[in-house]
Amino acid sequence: MDLALLRTFVAVHRAGSFTRAAGLLGLSQPAVTGQIRTLERQLGRPLFLRTARGVVPTTVGDELAHKAAPHLDALVEITEAGPDDDRSALRTLHLAGPPEFTALRVLPALTTLVTQGLAVRCAFGSTEELFEGLGAGHHDLVITTARPRGRLLAATPLCDEEHVLVAAPRWAARLGGPAVLQVKGVRALEALPVVEVHESLPLVTRYWSAVFDTRPVTAGTIIAPDLRAVLACVAEGAGLGVLPRYLCMDALDAGEVVALLNPPVPPLRTYFLVVRTGALALPHIARAHEWLSRAAVDW
């Protein structure tokens, strides 16, 4: 079987589109379509189903991609290496994840590897964007809060993130503190504005569901699409917010914000390290993966 056909097939499988795969490969869209049709004729089975938004792999397509993709990645690794290349040497890691966690946890943890010769190129994005970029080969390793579906991407749990309901000290004093709030319940919070990262109130809604078994009712909202901005607004008294403990820990210790509740089982969110299946055979990706897994024990 022609390796060029397999390379095109894997690119289409990862990109989910003939057009996007053509751009990644530097080919025309008709050329990509022709190569996929040739491969389908050789195998005697359809590999993709055409849709309005691109293509979806058939069961046969998924099976072929699962078997072929890791080996093709390894061949690319070999062909990109020079004749004197030291395979144990660290290379460039293309990393991506949510901005706050990546900036405050992940990148500092990789500092030692950088001093040993690893180059890092970092990107931020939503979970959907991260999975798409990883599948298309733009990223080597991504950090997400969702497990990918299918077998082309492999996920490893990294750590759990505890969420804390916080507000400025004056709001906490007005509510009477955690003990009083525990008795008053969720209705006592309805008069407070909410500071969030999105109009859908994802963090507050998740917290309300886990702790109060209901949806939030708010007096008003501020939307700031960065958790660090949410923390700054909350500390200034703009309203309550739900934040990861790692991000607001210093502000809690300094008394800039106060935890409004201390539930016996705090809401948690799990982070995952995600790679393309077979990518851990590449030394620089495996080293970063292992390093982050060890560092996360203390997170």
Which tens digit of pLDDT belongs to each residue from 149-192? 877 888 999 999 999 999 999 998 888 777 667 767 788 888 78
In a domain, 86, yes or no: no
Please indicate, yes or no, if residue 213 is contained in any of the structural domains.
Answer: yes
Note whether 105 and 18 are same-domain residues. no
Cα–Cα distance between 116 and 133 in angstroms, integer? Answer: 27
Q: Please indicate, yes or no, if residue 68 is contained in any of the structural domains.
A: yes
| 138, part of any domain | yes
pLDDT at 207: 95
Average model confidence (pLDDT) across the chain: 88
Domain span holding position 201? 161-268
Both structure tokens of 216: 């939030």
Give me the sign of the Cα torsion angle 180, 184, 190, 191.
negative
| 230-244 as b/e: b if 16+ CB within 10 A | bbebbbeebbbbbbb
Taking the C-alpha atoms of residue 108 and residue 101, their distance in angstroms, rounded to an integer, is 10
**pLDDT at position 82:** 54
Domain with residue 98: its CATH number is 3.40.190.10
Across 129-133, 167-171, 181-185, 219-223, least confident range? 181-185
The answer, yes or no, to whether residue 68 has pLDDT greater than 80, is yes
User: Is pLDDT larger for residue 16 or for residue 164?
Assistant: 164
pLDDT higher than 90, residue 46: yes
Question: Of the candidates 12, 47, 80, which is a domain's last residue?
Answer: 80
pLDDT at res. 188: 83
Query: Does residue 153 sit in the same domain as residue 275?
Result: yes
Q: Which residues make beta-bridge pairs with 57?
A: 48
% the chain with pLDDT above 70: 93
Residue 269 has what pLDDT?
95
The DSSP element (H or E) to which 57 belongs, if any, is: strand 54-57
Residue bearing tokens 């309901």: 165
Residues 69-123 pLDDT 10s: 878 877 766 665 555 555 444 589 999 999 999 999 999 999 999 999 999 999 9
Asked if 256 and 167 sit in the same domain, the reply is: yes
Residue-wise DSSP of 204-265: HHHHIIIIISS----S-EEE-SSHHHHHHHHHTTS-BEEEEHHHHHHHHHTTSSEES---SS
Do residues 72 and 120 both lie within one domain? no
Domain presence at residue 99: yes
137 and 214 in a common domain? no
In a domain, 276, yes or no: yes
Residues 114 and 193 in one domain: no
167 and 287 co-located in one domain: no
Residues 142 and 280 in one domain: yes
Average pLDDT over residues 49-74: 86
Which has the minimum average pLDDT: 2-6, 47-51, 212-216, 271-275?
A: 2-6
Residue 25 reports pLDDT greater than 70: yes
pLDDT of amino acid 87: 46
- List the CATH number of the domain containing 75: 1.10.10.10
pLDDT one-digit tens code per residue, 251-266: 999 999 999 998 989 9
How much is the pLDDT for 88? 45
Number of structural domains in the chain: 3
Domain limit, last residue, from 29, 59, 80: 80
CA 221 – CA 223 distance, rounded (Å) = 6
Is residue 60 located within the same domain as residue 150?
no
Is residue 87 included in any domain, yes or no?
no
Mean pLDDT of 135-151: 90
pLDDT at 85: 52
3-state secondary structure 73-121: HHHHHHHHCCCCCCCCCCCEEEEEECHHHHHHHHHHHCHHHHHCCCEEE
User: Does residue 155 sit in the same domain as residue 280?
Assistant: yes
**Inside any domain, residue 142:** yes
Structure tokens belonging to residue 234? 């909350």
**Final residue of a structural domain among 15, 48, 80:** 80
**Residue 16 pLDDT grade (very low, low, confident, very high; cuts 50, 70, 90):** confident
| β-bridge partners, 270 | 160
Are residues 40 and 114 located together in one domain of the fold?
Answer: no
Residue 56: how many CB atoms within 10 A of its CB? 13
Same domain, 76 and 108: no
